[in-house]
């Protein structure tokens, strides 16, 4: 489970990302609460969430080409510097008291553009920090790290928002960027020649689409991840409404809700990090999707804080089981030459589904309410998991044949 930590580069990357991701999750919570405080609108919550992530959906294929053709460490360094500048601008506006919804929207769009280049590069760069035999464990450990950040960041943010306001959360996020920048500079990587392809970028993307959606295991992962992330976007967008109107709390309550889901994703990440084989992950994919759907159903019907927190722990566990399993299948079944582009398709369908879920949830909740909106999304997850179970046999056989062909 801890084998990847023998790599110095992985240790540096892990520590740098740990601090930076906590800052990022604090900013996400602070932004959502600030938007709801300024507008008191479910629609605006969904719209800001959409603005922050939609550039990733559109531009990630371009970012993937950069990830495959450019030095990945340099791309990451540049994206981290740009992210730090964006966070500093948000900090200044919030602390000066002149921040408005259009400024939040504009800065969210800018961060989304940065993420379009940073996310596929980060996903493709991780295998360079560890040996291939420990890649599966490294992916699970990294996902657990993301879960810890989602668990700690909102809890800290909830307290800070209640005591000193959102601006301090943005300031701490700005400072956290220095750690990942320092970690990237301190790594000792083997020189790697950039991959030069004679194919045009659009031809490369077309070939990646054909391969990914023509191969059942990867196609199933892409569709399943898009589904759970789309529904997870409902919860992320409407969380402040549940905290304030359903549970009658404040920013602390919202922070606790986000922390509970983060605790569940941490537990799921630790559980999956102990797996030694990619075989059988199709059952984990289906079970995680169903578990998330049932747990979110309980959350929407609960008016008790303890039951809401418990249901979100279980929902987070199911969500991350699906995400880690899918990401592991993708990383182990693609070659290094097209890793960035195939990974970008995964990121585009999963991360890109979240802003669509945000926007859809905001619009739907304005008409039928937040509770009914999340119930609808949870039902879709349960139905999707049932449909996916019909592909179990073919999925496992294709994965086994692909892995055996790679060994030869």
User: Mind giving me the DSSP string for 67-136?
Assistant: HHHS-HHHHHHHHHHHHHHHHHHHHHHHHHT---HHHHHHHHHHHHHHHHHHHHHHHHHGGGGS-GGGHH
Asked whether residue 322 is assigned to any structural domain, the reply reads yes
The per-residue DSSP string of 361-389 comes to HHHHHHHH-HHHHHHHHHHHHHHHHHHHG
pLDDT 10s digits, 31-74 = 988 888 888 888 888 888 788 777 777 777 777 677 777 788 88
Asked whether residue 193 is assigned to any structural domain, the reply reads no
Query: Other C-beta atoms within 10 Å of 150: how many?
Result: 26
DSSP character at residue 243: I
Domain CATH number, residue 23: 1.20.1250.20
Give residue 246's domain range: 3-188+200-407
Q: Is the pLDDT of residue 396 over 90?
A: no
pLDDT 10s digits, 13-36 = 888 888 888 898 889 888 988 888
Tell me the two tokens of residue 2.
């801890």
Asked whether residue 194 is assigned to any structural domain, the reply reads no
- Whether the CB-CB separation of 242 and 362 falls below 8 Å is answered with no
Asked whether residue 351 is assigned to any structural domain, the reply reads yes
Residue 147's contacts (CB-CB under 8 Å, 6 or more residues apart) are 262, 263, 264, 265, 266, 267, 268, 269, 316, 320
Domain total for the chain? 1
Query: Other C-beta atoms within 10 Å of 102: how many?
Result: 8
Query: Other C-beta atoms within 10 Å of 400: how many?
Result: 13
Q: What integer pLDDT is reported at residue 112 of this predicted model?
A: 85
Assign residue 280 a region (left: φ > 0; alpha: ψ between -120 and 50; beta: otherwise): left
Asked whether residue 230 is assigned to any structural domain, the reply reads yes
Q: What integer pLDDT is reported at residue 338 of this predicted model?
A: 60
Asked whether residue 162 is assigned to any structural domain, the reply reads yes
pLDDT 10s digits, 329-346 = 776 676 655 665 676 677
DSSP character at residue 304: S
What is the C-alpha separation between 108 and 48, in angstroms, rounded? Answer: 7
Residue 24's contacts (CB-CB under 8 Å, 6 or more residues apart) are 149, 153, 173, 176
What is the C-alpha separation between 153 and 82, in angstroms, rounded? Answer: 21
CA distances from 394 to 34, 48, 267, 279, 390 (A): 47, 40, 29, 12, 9
Tell me the two tokens of residue 341.
């582009």
pLDDT 10s digits, 172-223 = 999 999 998 999 998 887 765 555 455 555 666 676 677 767 777 778 788 8
- Whether the CB-CB separation of 363 and 372 falls below 8 Å is answered with no
Handedness of CA 59, 285, 221, 46 (dihedral sign): negative
Q: Is the pLDDT of residue 275 over 70?
A: no
Q: Tell me the percentage of the chain whose pLDDT exceeds 90.
A: 20
Cα 142 off chain centre by: 11
Location of structure tokens 């199709």: 282
Q: What is the mean pLDDT of residues 226-234?
A: 88
């Amino acid at each position: 489970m801890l084998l990847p930590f023998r790599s110095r580069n992985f240790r540096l990357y892990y520590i740098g990302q740990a601090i930076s991701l906590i800052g990022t999750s604090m900013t996400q919570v602070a932004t959502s609460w600030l938007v709801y405080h300024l507008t008191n609108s479910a629609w605006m919550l969904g719209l800001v969430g959409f603005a922050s992530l939609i550039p990733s959906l559109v531009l990630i294929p371009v970012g993937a080409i950069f990830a495959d053709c450019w030095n990945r460490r340099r791309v990451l360094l540049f994206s981290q510097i740009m992210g730090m500048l964006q966070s500093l601008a948000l900090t200044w506006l919030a602390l000066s008291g002149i921040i408005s919804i259009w400024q939040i929207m504009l800065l969210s769009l800018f961060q989304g553009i940065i993420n379009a280049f940073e996310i596929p590069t980060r996903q493709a760069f991780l295998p360079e920090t560890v040996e291939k035999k420990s890649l599966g464990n490294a992916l699970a450990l990294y996902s657990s790290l993301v879960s810890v950040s989602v668990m700690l960041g909102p809890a800290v943010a909830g307290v800070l928002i209640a005591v000193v306001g959102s601006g301090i959360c943005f300031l701490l996020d700005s400072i956290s960027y220095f750690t990942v920048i320092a970690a990237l500079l301190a790594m000792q990587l083997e020189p790697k020649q950039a991959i030069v392809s004679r194919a045009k970028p659009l031809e490369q993307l077309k070939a990646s689409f054909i391969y990914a959606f023509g191969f059942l295991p990867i196609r199933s992962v892409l569709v399943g991840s898009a589904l759970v992330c789309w529904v997870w976007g409902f919860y992320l967008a409407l969380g402040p409404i549940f905290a304030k109107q359903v549970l009658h709390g404040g920013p602390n309550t919202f922070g606790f809700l986000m922390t509970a889901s983060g605790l569940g994703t941490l537990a799921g990440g630790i559980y999956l990090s102990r797996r030694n084989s990619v075989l059988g992950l199709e059952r984990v994919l289906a079970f995680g999707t169903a578990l998330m759907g049932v747990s979110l159903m309980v959350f929407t019907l609960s008016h008790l804080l303890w039951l809401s927190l418990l249901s979100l722990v279980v929902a987070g566990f199911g969500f991350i089981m699906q995400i880690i399993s899918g990401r592991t299948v993708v990383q182990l079944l693609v070659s290094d030459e097209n890793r960035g582009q195939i990974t970008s398709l995964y990121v585009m369908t999963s991360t890109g589904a979240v802003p669509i879920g945000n926007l859809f949830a905001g619009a739907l909740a304005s008409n039928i309410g937040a509770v009914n909106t999340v119930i609808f999304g949870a039902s879709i997850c349960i139905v999707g998991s049932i449909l996916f179970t019909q592909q179990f046999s073919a999925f496992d056989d294709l994965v086994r044949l692909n892995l055996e062909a790679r060994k030869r």
